[in-house]
Chain A
Amino acid sequence: MVSSVAMTATDAPYERDARQTPDAGRVPDARGAIDAVWRIESARLIAGLARFTRDVGLAEELAQDALVAALEQWPAAGIPDNPGAWLTATAKNRAIDQARHVRMRARKHAALGAELEMDQRLSAGGLEARAGDEIGDDLLRLIFIACHPVLSREARSALTLRLLGGLTTEEIARAFLVPEPTIAQRIVRAKRTLADAHVPFEIPRREEIAARLASVLEVIYLIFNEGYSATAGEDWMRPALCEEALRIGRILAELAPAEAEVHGLVALMEIQASRLRARTGPGGEPVLLADQNRAQWDRILIHRGLLALARGEACARSRGPYLLQAAIAASHARAVSAEDTDWVLITALYDGLARVAPSPVVELNRAVAVAMAYGPAAGLVITEELEAQGALRSYHLLPSVRGDLLTRLGRYQEARGEFERAAALTRNAREKRLLLDRAAACAHAGTDATS
């Protein structure tokens, strides 16, 4: 059921974003504090409003309206003792006004029933008095709807950061290296798609939950990886995406504590984030796991990752792809030095991952693990199968791994060819140079060996 209020709201050509409206009279300190309140309250506020409006787009706009009111009033009047309740009451009043206004305009329309219903829900007064569990359920509904499969991945990411992270359009645009109007349009369209598809504000039914949860986890991990792939010197909003994804993941883990894969994803992100400091060298070049200075790994995040993994494993009937990836990451995290890595265990985990989520990239990783555990020849066999399949034909890491394994087997001439092939495939200049250096080293080693 879509109310006509929702239609007026989503017809807006552009995203309204209260924090971007110019306001010369704002006191800077109050501004920072209001941003902070928004950061803390916005998701719960939107989620609570959506329960009544049954329309996320409208709920978000009502929340923005309340924020505009706060920006106008708080700098002079001071921040209220309970800013969350203030925002909620303000948004609720706006909702009632709007519903009345639309009802007067559309008296003859069938939408009347819907408006009355919303009016009743609002005046039932539950919004301020919601219990903790209800707020949690509303937040969970909000996460599911922001990551709904009717939306494209890009739209899901943007909407999730907007609704759950409280990020501005500008911040999201900077984070994804996309022009601001593109993100604004993406969010407007996403809201319209949800309204047009009559997507209910509900927690998915039991039979749907696995697929819907997978969609949510995919979006969170996508956001994380976008941040993780940021390189030195880029806008700080990009690496901040890792923090945003972790925060949303941690929130989800408390909302859905019985879902093993949620804990698996959180564990995976915590452990990967623990290496952020160590994974680039002084010139910004990537440092491989084996070469990283493990003293730079973030022990708090590793500890949190291991706890999340244990939590997930405790409630898993069988380990899914995120738990398995987290277990692999945890094996590396537990090793005091690269030499201490338990490659036999990691190989077994990759075997499991190849069963539940088979892909050529997983297979390539498995080849590396097998080579570490059982020798380069065993790994090489797996890469040969991959070559035969041809799925990774344009992926530079396949010849790069093969070059590595062939070098270790002393087959320098073949290794040289693989490194040159890898160099031709990569688009990263720094990596290309590295690979050509390795090819040259092979040529050198090859002549040494024959002379």
Chain B
Amino acid sequence: MRVMVIVKANERSESGVLPDPEMLAEMGRFNEELLKAGVLLAAEGLHGSSKGVRVRFGGGRSTVIDGPFTETKELVGGFWLWQVKSIEEAVEWIRRSPFQKREAEVEIRRVFETEDFGLSFTELCAQEARQRGQQAAKN
């Protein structure tokens, strides 16, 4: 299974200050370990929300709202995508991360796989296939 490991933002990341060199070095080592174990699919850190925007939809309109956003704890500071066998494996890996010695909150979420869609996804495929068939018939 694939999981997204979401690292929550904090005041420091939101203020635009880069992590201290020690943290960066430890994180580099941790990422290397993930890579060597065949677990790491992607890893990205995000700029503070002051450099981002939100787009809100409603009433048939869209509104663009500039950052920063205040609810720091709800913001995402960065993420990984990991290929693991179970959520427990992801938990075991994150316990080996540099966060172990620090204050942080990390959220681990399963990524949808085809099987998870079950029948509805199959129906969607069928619908799509029918549409393509009709399209082909027209041509």
What is the interface of chain A, defined by CB distance below 8 A to chain B? 32-33, 35-37, 39-40, 83, 136, 236, 243, 246-251, 254-255, 276-277, 281-282, 293, 300, 304
Contacts and interface: CB of A to CB of B under 8 A. Distances in A.
Nearest to B39: A247
Contact of A236 (B39, B41, B115): B115
Interface string B100-139: 0000000000000011000000110110110010000000
Contact of A33 (B39, B88, B129): B88
Shortest Cβ-Cβ A-B pairs, 4 listed = A250-B38, A247-B38, A36-B88, A282-B126
Contacts of B42: 300
B3 to A, nearest CB: 12
Contact of B122 (A136, A247, A282): A282
B81 interface: yes
B10 to A, nearest CB: 24
A282 B123 contact: yes
Per DSSP, chain A at the interface is helix
Contact of A35 (B39, B86, B115): B86
25 contacts: A33-B91, A35-B89, A36-B86, A36-B88, A36-B89, A36-B91, A39-B86, A40-B37, A40-B89, A40-B93, A236-B115, A243-B83, A246-B38, A246-B83, A247-B38, A248-B38, A250-B35, A251-B36, A254-B35, A276-B114, A281-B129, A282-B122, A282-B126, A300-B42, A304-B41
Contacts of B38: 246-251
Contacts of A35: 86, 88-89
B110 to A, nearest CB: 14
B115 A282 contact: no
B54 interface: no
A280 B11 CA distance: 47
Contact of B89 (A39, A251, A281): A39
A136 B37 CA distance: 11
Interface in B78-92: 81, 83, 85-89, 91-92
Most chain A beta-carbon contacts within 10 A, residue among B39, B87, B123: B39
Contacts of B128: 293
A248 B35 CA distance: 11
Contact of A282 (B39, B89, B125): B125
Contacts of A300: 41-42, 81
Contacts of A293: 125, 128, 132
A123 to B, nearest CB: 28
A36 B129 CA distance: 40
Nearest to A29: B88
A254 B36 contact: yes
Given A33-B91, A254-B35, 9 more contacts: A83-B92, A243-B83, A246-B38, A251-B38, A254-B36, A255-B36, A276-B114, A282-B126, A300-B81
A210 B24 CA distance: 38
Contacts of A246: 38, 83
B83 A247 contact: yes
A390 B83 CA distance: 44
Contacts of B123: 282
Contact of B114 (A243, A255, A277): A277
Most chain A beta-carbon contacts within 10 A, residue among B38, B41, B81, B89: B38
A276 B115 CA distance: 11
Contacts of A33: 88, 91-92
B115 to A, nearest CB: 7
Given A281-B125, A281-B129, A39 B35 contact: no
A251 B37 contact: yes
A248 B91 CA distance: 21
Most chain A beta-carbon contacts within 10 A, residue among B91, B92, B93, B114: B92
Nearest to A32: B88
B106 to A, nearest CB: 16
Contacts of A40: 37, 89, 92-93
